[in-house]
């Protein structure tokens, strides 16, 4: 099975799915619980995964929900499905919401209410891998829903294997992938101007901004070449790495939805925004730089009529 000294495994680019399934075979997995949104389960891309699993003689059970998310009511049913179908691996197939749900299932996460407090515990751990369709794997600090409560875990697990195959984008609605690209561009800018920015986050963020500025609008307007898909897939991954590597800082603020947002580096934000504008190819100077960057992201967003609250909702973006 999984030997933690060999972890983690990241496979990115065209053909990554086939290579990843071969790795699962090498690890000796027999039956996979595939966690997927109902919308995505009806698209051709899931057929590619099934075919690769069948080639390697790995059995599977599809666990799909119409509104997949990090909700304990869904996770509990997923845990039951693992036991009922004797699965030895959890495999998420989708975006952030699917990955979060699969993570909860893999941890056998349980919660209960005791007086006015909600208490959670994990009851074992099933190996967990992730096929990320939209290239975005950041989990926004691991917040789960339990009824009306938002639960942030003190511990979590990460997939021992992450597979990001640009060929899977072919089957997605173009606007769905574009929506993720816009989200990645926004997060990259946030990473740059964060008070917790560092050399690693900056390197990833600026490269992502450059790639998305060069290719995203072309993709939205219909150019779906191998090269463009590869570059957008890589850019989204870099944006995730940038945002994930921002240093934790006491100035980060907690939002009402339970997620935290990085605090901006107010002292250096103007200089950083000028660098962002240059990377995006925006010719604006002075006080108009910040507004110009925001307007450019808004302009691209309007090409596909995507609002910020839609961009991570898998039920929405896979139906755009």
**Do 310 and 178 have their domain in common?**
yes
pLDDT of residue 137: 54
Across the strands, what pairs with 143? Answer: 152
**Do 144 and 211 have their domain in common?**
no
Question: From the CB of residue 246, how many other CB atoms can be counted at a distance below 10 Å?
Answer: 23
Q: Which domain holds residue 161?
A: 4-168
**Do 30 and 114 have their domain in common?**
yes
What is the pTM (predicted TM-score) of this model?
Answer: 0.81
Domain count within the chain:
2
* Phi (first) and psi of residue 283, to 5 degrees: -95, 80
Last residue of a domain, one of 135, 168, 201: 168
**Do 40 and 84 have their domain in common?**
yes
DSSP alpha helices (H): ranges in 156-198? 174-193
CA 80 – CA 84 distance, rounded (Å): 6
* DSSP assigned state of 62: E
**Do 143 and 265 have their domain in common?**
no
pLDDT of residue 114: 77
**Do 164 and 178 have their domain in common?**
no
**Do 137 and 205 have their domain in common?**
no
Q: At what angle do helices 174-193 and 199-220 cross, to 10 degrees?
A: 150
Last residue of a domain, one of 136, 168, 200: 168
* DSSP assigned state of 71: B
**Do 246 and 219 have their domain in common?**
yes
CATH number at 88 reads 3.40.50.1970
Q: What is the DSSP code string of 203-271? A: HHHHHHHHHHHHHHHHHHTT---HHHHHHHHHHHHHHHHHHHTSPP-TT-EE-TTS-EEPPB-TTTHHH
**Do 56 and 159 have their domain in common?**
yes
E strand or H helix at 75: helix 72-84
**Do 26 and 159 have their domain in common?**
yes
CA 285 – CA 305 distance, rounded (Å): 28
CATH number at 216 reads 1.20.1090.10
pLDDT of residue 68: 85
Non-local CB neighbours of 277 within 8 Å, separated by 6+ positions: 283, 284, 289, 292, 293
**Do 111 and 180 have their domain in common?**
no
Non-local CB neighbours of 83 within 8 Å, separated by 6+ positions: none
| Average pLDDT estimate for 35-51 | 91
For the ranges 15-19, 64-68, 139-143, which has the lowest average pLDDT?
Answer: 139-143
Tens-digit pLDDT profile for residues 254-313 = 444 444 556 777 788 888 999 999 999 988 766 678 888 989 998 988 888 766 655 556
């Amino acid at each position: 099975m999984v030997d933690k000294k060999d972890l983690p495994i990241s496979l990115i680019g065209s053909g990554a799915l086939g290579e990843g399934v071969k790795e699962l075979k090498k690890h000796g997995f027999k039956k996979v619980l595939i966690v997927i949104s109902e919308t995505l389960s009806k698209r051709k891309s899931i057929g590619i995964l099934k075919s690769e699993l069948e080639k390697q003689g790995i059995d599977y059970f599809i666990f799909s929900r119409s509104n997949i998310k990090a909700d304990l009511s869904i996770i509990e049913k997923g845990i039951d499905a693992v036991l009922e179908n004797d699965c030895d691996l959890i495999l998420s197939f989708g975006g952030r919401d699917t990955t979060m749900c699969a993570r909860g299932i893999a941890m056998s996460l349980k919660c209960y209410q005791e007086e006015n407090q909600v208490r959670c515990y994990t009851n074992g751990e099933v190996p967990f891998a992730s096929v990320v369709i939209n290239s975005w794997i950041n989990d926004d600090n691991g917040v789960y829903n339990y009824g009306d409560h938002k639960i942030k875990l003190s511990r979590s697990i990460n997939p021992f294997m992450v597979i990001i195959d640009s060929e899977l984008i072919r089957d997605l609605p173009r606007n769905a992938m574009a929506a993720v690209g816009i989200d990645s561009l926004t997060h990259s800018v946030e990473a740059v101007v964060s008070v917790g920015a560092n050399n690693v986050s900056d390197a990833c963020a600026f490269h992502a901004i450059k790639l998305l500025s060069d290719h995203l609008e072309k993709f939205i307007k219909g150019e779906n070449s191998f090269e463009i898909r590869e570059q957008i897939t890589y850019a989204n991954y870099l944006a995730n790495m940038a945002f994930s590597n921002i240093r934790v800082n006491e100035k980060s603020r907690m939002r009402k939805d339970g997620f935290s947002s990085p605090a901006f580096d107010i002292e250096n934000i103007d200089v950083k925004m000028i660098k962002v504008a240059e990377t995006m190819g925006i010719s604006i100077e002075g006080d108009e730089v910040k507004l110009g960057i925001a307007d450019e992201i808004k302009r691209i967003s309007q090409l596909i009529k995507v609002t910020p609250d839609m961009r991570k909702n898998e039920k929405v973006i896979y139906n755009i």
